[in-house]
Amino acid sequence: MRCAIVGSGLASLAAYATLRHGGVETEEITVFGTHEDPTEPWRARAAAIRQRRMRSESDGHLAPASFPGLAVRESLRRATPAPLLASVANRYHPSVDDFLAHAGELRGRCGWEHSFREQRVARVRAVDGGFELDGDGPFAHVLVAPGHPGLARPPGLERAVHAYEPHEYPPRVAIVGAGMAAATEWLNALAAGSEVVSIRRREPVRRPLNVPRPLFSKRGLAAFHASAPPQHAATLRELSAPSYPPGRTWDEPIRAAEREHRFRTDTDPGETPVIAATGFLHGFEHDPLLADLVASHDLETHDRWIVLDRDSTVPALTDGTRTLSLAGIAGQWAFPAADTIAGAKYAARAFLRRVCRTR
């Protein structure tokens, strides 16, 4: 039995830890990636926007088992029930430091280093016995988690610094975008004493999580999976609208800045220095590995998504003897919040079931 994970980010660590928890040995798994520390890319982006709290909740960790969650761990460490009470009310959000510390512990415990190979995979090919990865293989079961394909910059502002790149805040700054990264940057710039111009085309949606809470449930997912492809794609487009959580933490600093004439909205930055808080490029065609996979195997796509079964597998390349799964943002057709920790674990658990079924 040979399994491969393509990519070395958070979704890959979740998949690896899940396989190990399910009894798959380190020598049966090869992880191909560019970062031996799977938290490194995410850590750098979080540091760039000075993120202190996760948007996820207590179960927003990478361990295979849901319990104990991060609220339980923090409650035990601090000897206080406060995190548990906040979690019951859906108001608990772990700190970035706690999340990263837990990810580091998990990485050391599951044996990630024994399976990691520093290598960027450019091609996945279906062959007898599974899949070859740049000629290496075959691997019977492959999970591809390449991460986001690149930073998105607005047309005409390609030279602007991106929020996910190291930067400072000038006395007056225009922040393009209206999602979580943009809202975080509004507060960062205001705290630094800057005057902020929010450049946005539409008003953001206010919701606690990346997608509505029902889409994390079996019932909500069942309705999503049952929809026809055009409706499926329409739902995903709707969910890609910029959003950030409601609450005083976000609103009060902005209201205070508006009263002081230090915060306003506009549609054109003019000559003001710009920070592009516009997230990532969308669509498989922006990722060379996925684009090549689609073209080489004539895979079914709809709009910017690769069509997947509800277990995150590629239907045309998965059968009773082999598995090709997509995780992270590439798996959004199967799980709308695929680029969240919950999405990573959704794909990981389905992948483990496929592996176990053919052992």
Reported confidence tier of residue 322, pLDDT bands at 50, 70, 90: very high
Question: How high is the pLDDT of residue 68?
Answer: 87
Do both 179 and 94 map to the same domain?
Answer: no
In a domain, 232, yes or no: no
Q: Which domain holds residue 193?
A: 161-204+242-276
Domain total for the chain?
Answer: 2
Say whether 247 sits in a helix, a strand or coil: coil
Do 70 and 168 lie in a common domain?
no
∠ CA(315), CA(230), CA(56), 5° rounding?
75
Same domain (yes/no): 142, 286: yes
Strand bridging mode 3-6 / 124-127: unpaired
Q: Of 314, 240, 237, 287, nearest to 123 (Cα)?
A: 287
The reply to whether 10 and 90 lie within a common domain is yes
Report the pLDDT value the prediction gives residue 239, as an integer from 0 to 100.
Answer: 94
C-alpha–C-alpha distance, residues 330 and 140, integer Å? 20
pLDDT at 66 over 70: yes
- The reply to whether 91 and 169 lie within a common domain is no
Contacts of 281 (CB under 8 A, 6+ apart): 148, 149, 150, 151, 152
Same domain? 53 vs 120: yes
Q: What is the CATH number of the domain that holds 330?
A: 3.50.50.60
Amino acid at 138: P
Note whether residue 112 is domain-resident. yes
Residues 316 and 251 in one domain: no
Judged against a pLDDT cut of 90, whether residue 137 lies above it is answered with no
Amino acid identity for residue 228 in this structure: A
Binned at pLDDT 50, 70 and 90, residue 260 comes out as very high
182-236, pLDDT tens digit by residue?
999 999 999 999 999 999 988 999 999 999 999 999 999 999 999 999 999 999 9
